[in-house]
Chain A
Amino acid sequence: MSAHEHHISSAKFLWGVGIALFILTVLTVAVTWIQIPEPWNVVVAIAIAVVKATVVAAFFMNLFWDSKFNTMILIMSALFFMLLIGITLLDTLYRIDPVPSF
């Protein structure tokens, strides 16, 4: 078998993670009831989603106990995604005249 054992989460812990994710889902809906002004409602929604995604990646996908290399792959993919968004927006946000039929 293995030289070192794989991490096994307790059932209690997994349920705790699941319940935390449910609570964060309720929270992300609840913050839309109080009307947060324009740019900040998006920031709050994305921030909660990032927290949820981090919880899933760390404790359901076991990155917390895993080889750090796998975490690096996930972070790199997120960085390249932001690069894609950033460079695209540098073009589309500053066009004097957006492509007419778009």
Chain B
Amino acid sequence: MSGTSATIEKRLDHLQHHFIDSDQQFESAKLGMWIFLATEILFFGGLFAAYIVYRSWYPELYIQASTELNTFWGAINTGVLIGSSLTVAMAIRSAQLNQIKGLIYNLYITIALAFVFMVIKYFEYTHKFHLGIYPGEYYTFEGIAHEKANIFFSIYYMMTGVHGLHVLIGIGLMIWLVFKAKKGAFHSGYYTPVEITGLYWHLVDIIWIFLFPLLYLID
């Protein structure tokens, strides 16, 4: 219903009464998101702590067990996520320049790349399940001569699983952004949800940047 008058006058329909201006509202939203991202870092930090403690106890286990992870597909997925970070950044640029079509196309590419990531992850998981590499007590694989091999894969599934959940949530958020953009909700004066979702998506990328060498590239 809105969106047609954007070029004629400055739109301020998004501005809430308790903010001085659009800029203050934008900066406040971004600050709030950064505080949320700090909690996300500490949340993943607990998982990284488990990883580090077990690696310090059983360094040889990590070297043996990580050979079951496919470096090639891990590297491809790293590239896919970096590509999606680029398209999110391009989406924000499009919104800043009032190019709503560009915004929607970049969001589509980002969603597609996120799905590619999840599909590769799905094949990695099912391949391991097929071998009997399940987490914890359900572990039945006999190809790794180490009694704690199930612990490595519990940590692997927990870290990549929670990360994958974040990717799925990101896909949901970006589909929501596409709907809002199509309704004409965003313009160069208001694109806060795009910016905020972008920050979230980049953090998910950063987490994977650490997961990839720590899980796939040992040996």
Contact = CB atoms under 8 A, between A and B. Distances in A.
Nearest to A63: B34
Given A60-B202, A84-B49, A89-B53, A53 B27 contact: no
Contacts of A28: 212-213, 217
A8 interface: yes
Contacts of B219: 32
Nearest to A14: B89
B90 A14 contact: yes
- Chain B interface SS verdict (over half): helix
Contacts of A25: 75, 78-79, 82, 212
Contacts of B49: 84-85, 88
Contact of B96 (A8, A60, A98): A8
B93 A70 contact: no
B38 interface: yes
Contact of B213 (A49, A93, A102): A49
Contact of B38 (A14, A57, A61, A74): A74
Query: Does more than half of chain A's interface fall in helix, strand or loop, or is it mixed?
Result: helix
Interface in B30-58: 30-31, 34-35, 37-38, 41-42, 45-46, 48-49, 52-53, 56-57
Contacts of A70: 30-31, 34
Contacts of A34: none
Bin the interface of chain A by size: 35 or more
Contact of B23 (A2, A9, A11, A78): A2
A66 B92 CA distance: 15
B210 A53 contact: yes
Contacts of A56: 85, 202, 205-206, 209
B14 to A, nearest CB: 11
Contact of B26 (A2, A14, A84): A2
A96 to B, nearest CB: 13
B184 to A, nearest CB: 17
A74 B202 contact: no
A11 B42 contact: no
A25 to B, nearest CB: 5
B17 interface: no
B30 A2 contact: no
Nearest to B36: A73
Contacts of A60: 85-86, 88-89, 198, 202, 205
Contact of B22 (A2, A22, A29, A80): A2
A77 B41 contact: yes
Interface of B: 10, 21-23, 26-27, 30-31, 34-35, 37-38, 41-42, 45-46, 48-49, 52-53, 56-57, 71, 75, 78-79, 82-83, 85-86, 88-90, 93, 96-97, 188-189, 198-199, 202-203, 205-206, 209-210, 212-214, 217-219
Given A1-B189, A2-B21, A77-B37, 7 more contacts: A14-B86, A45-B214, A60-B205, A66-B30, A73-B37, A84-B42, A88-B52
